[in-house]
Structure 1
Amino acid sequence: MPEQIQRKLLIIDGNSLLNRAFYALPPLTNRDGEHTNAIYGFLTMLFKALEEVKPDHAAVAFDLKAPTFRHDTYTDYKAGRKKMPMELAEQIEPLKEILDAMGLYRIQMEGFEADDLIGTLARMAESDGMTVAIVSGDRDVLQLVTEQTQVMITKKGITQMDVYDPGRFTEEYGIPVERFIDLKGLMGDSSDNIPGIPGVGPKTATKLLQEFGTIENLLEQAETISNKKLREKVDGHRQEAVLSKKLATIITNIPIEVKMDELKLGELSNPEVAALFRRFEFNSLLERISAPADFKSEKTADKHLWPEMTTIEALQELDRQVQQHQEITWHTLTDTNAEGWPSPVAAAVTIDGNTGWWLDCRNGKYMALAREWIEKWLGDPSILKKVHDLKLEKRAWRTVHIPFNGAPFDVMIADYLINPSKASYDLEALALHYDGQKVVTAKELWGTGLKRKKQTELDMEAMVAYLVQRTALIHRLTPELKSQLQELEMLSLYESVEMPLAFVLAEMESEGIELDAALLKEFEITYAKRIDDLIKQVHEAAGTEFNLNSTKQLGEVLFVRLNMPPVKKTKTGYSTDVAVLEKLKNEHAIIPLILEYRQMTKIKSTYIDGLLAIVNAGTGRIHSTFHQTVAATGRISSADPNLQNIPVRTEMGRQLRRVFVAREGWQLIDADYSQIELRIMAHLSGDPGFIKAFKEEADIHTRTAAEIFQVSEENVTGEMRSSAKAVNFGIIYGISDFGLSNNLNISRQQARLYIDDYLQRYASVKTYMDEMVTQARDKGYVTTLLHRIRYIPEINSKNFNLRSFGERMAMNTPIQGSAADIIKVAMVRVADELKKGNYQARLILQVHDELIVEAPPEEVEPVSLLLRQAMEEAADLSVPLKVDLSVATNWFDAK
């Protein structure tokens, strides 16, 4: 006879795990402001238990609010417990909804606690020949451990569990598991308000049980207890001991009308579960319930549905459909070529999402055959192209000299506008979020590290399946995303700003900026020498040599050898981070040297060594990647290198800009918005004082200083102006008196006076800030001038720090986000005007509120006018936008 498979039942202690998760994880909310940390933690532990136990049956038990038989027995049972926090209470019903959608058996019963239901189910399963695993954060359930039932107690947050069987229990507690309720009876339990015998703790209780076995035996033989005080305690609290044991005992024979077949575990994944996970933004958990990615999905096995473009007849048929529908869904598999550019490896196209064609771009014969048709489809601006990552598509096809024109629909950018705080907008993330499905990843297709395949090693069938999955997904998502953009009133922002901007950024990446390699090498020598000098000076100041890069050694030098006051300690020793060193700046001459050393080594490794390593051998230029879908505010960021972070606060940092130069004989035109965020604040708040100052082209910081310090503008000192500037920009970012006091090195009281006086004099600014906070609380989000949305779930948090952070975001986002919108509009206009005017000049760089155009000498004057006009007319505000413009052969001089 075949061996019978042992059936397993997993029982989850619902309230216990939910409570554990709530306190183990930081506050989390979805964009609608619903608290989710307890649900997320619970589900994480549930999936972990399912993986470890591999049960075929499962149940989740919950407590109800109604009193139980224990309350009837002892009116003070669980008295004094703190009320459940509202943020936790509101997560109970949504969790139950998810569990029900997953098809997990859920049980709760008036008059009994979850522990009693767990115990009863465990004993029923044992009688049915099953093994049982109970998961809980409460050690009370350890009394249910048997040879057939193990208990898993969560520890250290939500990632680890202690597993108990009878042997493990006895080893840890020194008594058999059958005596656990006697132990509770003697010790009591303060969390449940079970009295026990006063003064009897774990050690004493364990010794008594090792000697007498049970509470009953102990009470019968109390006179034999050798310790007089202990004997008197036991004798004087007999009733409490018996009552406590009764209260601690889990009932295991509740008449539950349930059959084990009802607890059978089914398929946890279904559209309802996926929809709930999307609602709560559990993107990582979506992967757990999604079917594994399959190279053979999307009907790729049927060669008739997605044939290869290898014949004129196939190309003609596709062209007929393209001309009929005037739209295609297009997706390209790319690789980096020898020159460092993205280039096409293969591509797929569909009209209806169910059938389509694919092309192996590595095959010269088929590529030559299809080139004319591809140029026709991709180059025709009247044909709508549905894509993912337009910028990459444009750059890849540019590599093989095929234009990518028109007004496409990019699902990546659409998802970014709809969900601006997501960690990823790749197709894998979109598939999980919208479809609840997995698609094959690029890593799975190519492999990674030393095992990464070459183009010639790619499996043809896997490659086609990869392309088809993604192309079909883009087609499916387009109407849904477009509908959401329309509903959120962001379709205009998408079509007029973000999509044309993707084309502009693609051109900027291709153009790059020239680097003066010789000057950079001079900097390398200068920095290396200065760093060596600093190391020597630090060692001299310390009176000993040590490793400056070792936090431990530096901490010992500063706080032990030099006896400086420790500011902050960590688990591993003294903290020596920048904040700590800044506070110690005036304590010893060594501190400024260490700060300079850190800054110099960071600049050298990141920018000097880093820039030399990424100069393109073919162009002699660096080609930064501009990210359009990273910052929730709408700001553009850059990488490889991150030009947004070129240091400007120190002279040596600023000098680095000298290495960024115009090509020989050309000029850099640098145009920088003047105080754009303050101008936006003036417009949004409608403050008459601010508007008047900007219209009169006054120095806004001097004007503010005169208002705050109640002096004439002529009498404003440099220090007053600096303070006013800190307040002006601080207000935009919702600065606190603590933050301003640190910035200006003044008392918090003085900082509070500055802020209060400012907001009193510019009352409309205060009103506007309050309105933004109110809007965020009511709607859950704020918007920019162009209606870009940013969700701020933190605004309604009960946690003061989180709520304060949300309030600052509500005040700042409309201003910072509007500044991002405006410079994006300006970039699109500049690029468009340069193209219309047939100029050789090109927009090559964007950093914060600054644009840089590279132009030949004969175009400098007209392009400067064009650039200024495009930027100053990018938005119609109640105050003028002003641009500071300069021209030079390198970025430093242009700035």
Structure 2
Amino acid sequence: MTDKKTLLLVDGSSYLYRAFHAMPDLRAVPGDPSSPATGAIRGMINMMQSLRREVRADYAACVFDAPGKTFRDDWYPDYKANRSPMPDDLRTQIPPIHEVVRLLGWPVLHVPLVEADDVIGTLAKTAALQGIEVIVSSGDKDMSQLVDAHITIIDTMNGKKRDVAGVTAEFGVPPSLMVDYQTLVGDTVDNVPGVDKVGPKTAAKWLLQYGSLDELVAHADEIKGQAGENLRKALDWLPQGRRLVTIRTDCDLSEHIVGLPALDGIAIGPQQVDALKVFYENYGFKSLVRTLEAHAVPPELIEENNRSKKKGGASDAGPGLFDEPAVGHLGDEAAEKASNLAYDTVTTWEMFDAWLAKIEAAELVAIDTETTSLDEMRAEIVGLSFSVTPGEAAYVPLAHNYPDAPEQLPREEVLARLKPWLENGAKKKLGQHIKYDRHVLANHGIEVQGYAHDTMLQSYVLEVHKPHGLASLAERHLGRSGIDYEDLCGKGAKQISFSQVAIDKAAEYSCEDSDQTLDVHRVLWPQLEADEKLRFVYELEMASSEALYRIERNGVLIDAPTLAAQSHQLGTRIMQLEQEAYEIAGQPFNLGSPKQIGEIFFTKLGLPIIKKTPSGAPSTDEEVLEKLADDFPLPAKLLEHRSLSKLKGTYTDKLGQLAHPRTGRVHTHYAQAVAVTGRLSSNDPNLQNIPVKTAEGRRVREAFVAPAGSVIASADYSQIELRIMAHISGDASLLRAFTEGIDVHRATAAEVFGTAVDQVSSEQRRYAKVINFGLIYGMSSFGLAKNLGIETKAAASYIDRYFARYPGVKAYMDETRMSAKEKGYVETVFGRRLYLPEINSPNGPRRGGAERAAINAPMQGTAADLIKLSMVKVQDVLDAEKRATKMIMQVHDELVFEVPEAEVEWVRSEIPKLMAGVADLKVPLLAELGVGPNWDKAH
């Protein structure tokens, strides 16, 4: 324990810009663009509350730049001359930001004529001279010059810490040379010139060689080349440059802080809960109001807590859970619970039997597994925790194996005694990301039944646009923070396995997870229960989790020799393309180097410059290559080279090596709670992004095979999003085309080009197909023109004709935009909510993107719902009829099966009918099924 005090200084000006750019365009009245902007205010509240929880301090201040000029403007009239003016939406939020930061308990400083950096520098040095530890929270690298043994800079946005060693490692010079370093390099943001063409590496090299800027100047004649010449040209400027970049540490702040040099005038204070509530109500922060109302902590409870310790082993040196930094965040129920936690570590059979009786009698039990790996197919159990009552939990350590680890109950015997309860579907269970836990327990021969809830999926359905990790959920809904995994295990190369974590620490961590999961469920489930549509979507997600677990567990058989042969062929073609590219260029060059490609393209061959990078260099990105490839052979060779190299590196080289040693199959992981539309994402490996537009890409699917006696079947929805558009819009012409089984692209071509359906040419049908799908994605006339290779005016004419023939589609789009602006979200046919934070943004491109998403998201989301409904229905029927057919992949709107030859005819007949019958839309759903020896041949 130490009596050393800490001063925490916040670079408020840096924070408010970050908050403004990080947050969506929020308004005090949602959906009303004329209402005051509140995004930066909300972001600032989040950041300040988070910092206060993470950094314990005796003194603190949040320092902002004051409006108007500073003393540096008098020294140098062009100081900060290049800076863009502050956005109006941010300027209007600064006074309320100052107000709310004060209400949160922070002293706020903004000193006329003095920059925030100089105020921070003065306070930091004043405190350090008194032996006080100083932490400065800022993303500004210029602050590095303040660092010494007592002053540390932290950047909470990226986790960076700049102490003496950190500064030296980052910039190549110690903090004592940072002013000299900044003088040489200059500061483009503040419009302070350095030495022309002298960058960080040169500046660091010179300073380490000569020891200081003064010594470098004294030996300027020794510096060779253009850099030396530029240094000598800058000699007259350098003293002024140094004066401008030096943070002052001697400002007179006595009028603004009472009692300096003592720091009692900036002691951190309690949050003003009543005033905060009024503030939050005025600015439309309803969730913050609810948090305050539910979590207000009486002063007498704070005092009582300060005299007590957290049950379960907190030391006297640790902060009390009601210490002022937590007031207003941890609330009555949550905080009282946190200070009276009952967490057991089960190391005897007597304790185990008591807890087993407790979970067998409970209506709902939260379970959490601690394991050896994030790879669910390979992970083994290290321990299990359970919670049946808020604030109470138990951890059963089973496989901790560090030196001198206490004796633990035998894992296999514990699991054997838990198995009847785990496999009893009548015993309701709860988890956070239950699919992972199901796999882990299955690795030990236990098929868990009775999972009734998953807090990750509850959050995904209720608040798809927010993070769904347990730490985020607990903080957002309970005001509870917890132990971080990396605090226990470390990170990077030094990270240890959970089996090496001390049992007492592991128990607190795992019990906390089970306890918080149960607590979060108690908050989220009533919200789902109260909304019939959202409850339907949640139940669909829970059922999908079960089906996906089965798909992942089944895995897919990969023909490694076929992939190896494809890799060899691709490698030969890639080498051939390199030689062809060298011949066209007239020299060898690195086909992966944008710099070398740019030199060949634009300097040597004189190809036209299509666009430039932010630094001003000619771009050679994919879009540029595609445009140039229409007219020049070398870009075409490069495109083919990139495509084949990616295919080889990502799939043909690797897929065959990813087979699980126990099953001999490849097992992908389907992430449910990622895409805001409800779509799944596949990873480790990604089986959804195998390119199918090229022959080489399609051939990769030849390696997805069935074992002897079985075949692969692929069932795919036909034109699903267009059918959904017809249903949602109710457009009579679209409905008629699908109901009568007319080729919808021919029907559109007939409408747009004014011809009979049977007279539509293949080119007209191609145009109509681009129009049909383009308008679903909100494509503009410019985008359509680009896709079709025609004039924008002609594309606009096609769009006008389309809407004239399909007025229901136009009405749907207009009504959807309007509804989205009012509600802030759109819905799928089944009620899934798709939030659009930027729908009322004053930023035109952001708002336009949100409007396009508003039109498309209901269709993408409904398509996602339909394939999940199909997946669940088909799996239910396979189980009910005890079929040997296995579902092995879900790829966008497609289900892939491994089918015994004896069941092929049943699959051909029944699967399309099952998929077409999962929903009753205004148009018929159509699923088409193919069968073959491999995935490619099944299409």
Q: TM-score, normalising length from structure 2?
A: 0.72
Match of 1:29 among 21, 25, 41: 25
Show the counterpart of 1:73.
Answer: none
Q: Cα gap change, 1:434/1:585 in structure 2, threshold over 3 Å: closer, same or farther?
A: same
SS at match of 1:831: helix
Show the counterpart of 1:562.
Answer: 605
CA distance in 2, matches of 1:590, 1:113: 60
Match of 1:650 among 694, 699, 704: 694
Show the counterpart of 1:353.
Answer: 390
State the Cα distance separating 1:257 from its structure 2 match.
Answer: 9.9
Match of 1:623 among 667, 671, 680: 667
CA distance in 1, matches of 2:686, 2:568: 22
CA distance in 1, matches of 2:387, 2:441: 18
Match of 2:628 among 565, 579, 584: 584
State the Cα distance separating 1:334 from its structure 2 match.
Answer: 1.9
Q: Cα gap change, 1:509/1:776 in structure 2, threshold over 3 Å: closer, same or farther?
A: same
State the Cα distance separating 1:415 from its structure 2 match.
Answer: 1.4
CA distance in 2, matches of 1:17, 1:673: 50
Residue pair 2:8, 2:57 contacting (<8 A) in 1 also: no
Which structure 1 residue ranges, 5 or more long, are not aligned?
A: 66-80, 138-144, 174-249, 283-295
Which stretch of structure 1 is more off in the superposition, 523-532 or 298-307? Answer: 298-307
Show the counterpart of 1:187.
Answer: none
Which structure 2 residue ranges, 5 or more long, are not aligned?
A: 32-36, 69-82, 139-145, 185-250, 289-308, 315-339, 400-406
CA distance in 1, matches of 2:636, 2:62: 62
Show the counterpart of 2:747.
Answer: 703
CA distance in 1, matches of 2:498, 2:85: 62
Residue pair 2:343, 2:508 contacting (<8 A) in 1 also: no
Show the counterpart of 2:927.
Answer: 883
Show the counterpart of 1:736.
Answer: 780
Q: Cα gap change, 1:278/1:462 in structure 2, threshold over 3 Å: closer, same or farther?
A: farther
Q: Cα gap change, 1:380/1:116 in structure 2, threshold over 3 Å: closer, same or farther?
A: closer
SS at match of 1:877: coil
State the Cα distance separating 1:485 from its structure 2 match.
Answer: 2.5
Show the counterpart of 1:540.
Answer: 583
Show the counterpart of 1:866.
Answer: 910
Q: Cα gap change, 1:369/1:22 in structure 2, threshold over 3 Å: closer, same or farther?
A: closer
- Are residues 1:327 and 2:364 paired? yes
Q: Cα gap change, 1:717/1:17 in structure 2, threshold over 3 Å: closer, same or farther?
A: same
Show the counterpart of 1:56.
Answer: 59
Q: Cα gap change, 1:847/1:82 in structure 2, threshold over 3 Å: closer, same or farther?
A: closer
Taking the TM superposition and a 5 Å limit, the aligned residue runs for 1:321-400 are 321-336=358-373, 340-362=377-399, 366-400=410-444
Show the counterpart of 1:310.
Answer: 348
- The one-letter amino acid paired with 1:485 is L
Show the counterpart of 1:102.
Answer: 104
State the Cα distance separating 1:855 from its structure 2 match.
Answer: 1.4
State the Cα distance separating 1:645 from its structure 2 match.
Answer: 0.4
Partner deviation per Cα, 1:389-445 (whole Å, 9 max, x = no partner)? 1101111111111121124211111112222133x4332333333344443333443
Which stretch of structure 1 is more off in the superposition, 774-783 or 482-491? Answer: 482-491
CA distance in 1, matches of 2:592, 2:927: 43
CA distance in 1, matches of 2:657, 2:120: 65
State the Cα distance separating 1:29 from its structure 2 match.
Answer: 3.4
CA distance in 2, matches of 1:498, 1:860: 29
Show the counterpart of 2:312.
Answer: 299
CA distance in 1, matches of 2:53, 2:496: 35
Residue pair 1:504, 1:827 contacting (<8 A) in 2 also: yes
> How many residues are aligned here?
767
Larger radius of gyration: 1
Partner deviation per Cα, 1:679-712 (whole Å, 9 max, x = no partner)? 0010000001000000001100010001000011
State the Cα distance separating 1:798 from its structure 2 match.
Answer: 1.0
SS at match of 2:688: helix
- Are residues 1:597 and 2:641 paired? yes
Taking the TM superposition and a 5 Å limit, the aligned residue runs for 1:470-481 are 470-481=513-524
CA distance in 1, matches of 2:286, 2:785: 39
SS at match of 2:937: helix
SS at match of 1:574: coil
CA distance in 1, matches of 2:492, 2:9: 40
- The one-letter amino acid paired with 2:819 is Q
| RMSD over aligned Cα atoms | 4.8
- Are residues 1:855 and 2:899 paired? yes
- The one-letter amino acid paired with 1:28 is P
Residue pair 1:843, 1:854 contacting (<8 A) in 2 also: yes
Residue pair 1:339, 1:617 contacting (<8 A) in 2 also: no
- Are residues 1:453 and 2:455 paired? no
- The one-letter amino acid paired with 1:510 is R
State the Cα distance separating 1:517 from its structure 2 match.
Answer: 1.0
CA distance in 2, matches of 1:676, 1:591: 36
Residue pair 1:298, 1:468 contacting (<8 A) in 2 also: no
- Are residues 1:813 and 2:868 paired? no
Q: Cα gap change, 1:28/1:456 in structure 2, threshold over 3 Å: closer, same or farther?
A: closer
CA distance in 2, matches of 1:387, 1:265: 42
Partner deviation per Cα, 1:777-807 (whole Å, 9 max, x = no partner)? 0011111112111111211011110110010
Residue pair 1:27, 1:35 contacting (<8 A) in 2 also: no
CA distance in 1, matches of 2:689, 2:681: 10
SS at match of 2:708: coil
Q: Cα gap change, 1:388/1:17 in structure 2, threshold over 3 Å: closer, same or farther?
A: closer
State the Cα distance separating 1:465 from its structure 2 match.
Answer: 1.7
State the Cα distance separating 1:46 from its structure 2 match.
Answer: 11
Partner deviation per Cα, 1:750-799 (whole Å, 9 max, x = no partner)? 11111111112111111111111111100111111121111112110111
- The one-letter amino acid paired with 1:802 is R
State the Cα distance separating 1:878 from its structure 2 match.
Answer: 0.4
Show the counterpart of 1:214.
Answer: none
Q: Cα gap change, 1:54/1:727 in structure 2, threshold over 3 Å: closer, same or farther?
A: same
Taking the TM superposition and a 5 Å limit, the aligned residue runs for 1:779-794 are 779-794=823-838
Taking the TM superposition and a 5 Å limit, the aligned residue runs for 1:510-549 are 510-549=553-592
Residue pair 2:432, 2:456 contacting (<8 A) in 1 also: yes
Which stretch of structure 1 is more off in the superposition, 842-851 or 264-273? Answer: 264-273
Match of 2:471 among 398, 422, 428: 428
CA distance in 1, matches of 2:393, 2:287: 33
Q: Cα gap change, 1:866/1:334 in structure 2, threshold over 3 Å: closer, same or farther?
A: farther
SS at match of 1:794: coil
Q: Cα gap change, 1:759/1:359 in structure 2, threshold over 3 Å: closer, same or farther?
A: same
Show the counterpart of 2:220.
Answer: none
Show the counterpart of 1:440.
Answer: 483
Residue pair 2:63, 2:116 contacting (<8 A) in 1 also: no
CA distance in 1, matches of 2:901, 2:682: 28
Q: Cα gap change, 1:664/1:349 in structure 2, threshold over 3 Å: closer, same or farther?
A: same
Residue pair 1:337, 1:343 contacting (<8 A) in 2 also: no
SS at match of 1:878: coil
Q: Cα gap change, 1:116/1:519 in structure 2, threshold over 3 Å: closer, same or farther?
A: closer
CA distance in 2, matches of 1:125, 1:644: 53
Q: Cα gap change, 1:270/1:448 in structure 2, threshold over 3 Å: closer, same or farther?
A: farther
Q: Cα gap change, 1:266/1:643 in structure 2, threshold over 3 Å: closer, same or farther?
A: same
Which stretch of structure 1 is more off in the superposition, 126-135 or 34-43? Answer: 126-135
Residue pair 1:843, 1:853 contacting (<8 A) in 2 also: yes
Residue pair 1:784, 1:814 contacting (<8 A) in 2 also: yes
Residue pair 2:777, 2:855 contacting (<8 A) in 1 also: yes
- The one-letter amino acid paired with 2:692 is V
CA distance in 1, matches of 2:114, 2:258: 17
Match of 1:831 among 857, 875, 878: 875
Partner deviation per Cα, 1:139-170 (whole Å, 9 max, x = no partner)? xxxxxx9xxxx9x9x9xx999999x99x989x
Show the counterpart of 1:264.
Answer: 266
CA distance in 2, matches of 1:642, 1:508: 14
Which stretch of structure 1 is more off in the superposition, 296-305 or 270-279? Answer: 270-279
Residue pair 2:462, 2:534 contacting (<8 A) in 1 also: no
Show the counterpart of 1:142.
Answer: none
Show the counterpart of 1:659.
Answer: 703
- The one-letter amino acid paired with 2:594 is T
Q: TM-score, normalising length from structure 1?
A: 0.75
Residue pair 2:25, 2:838 contacting (<8 A) in 1 also: yes
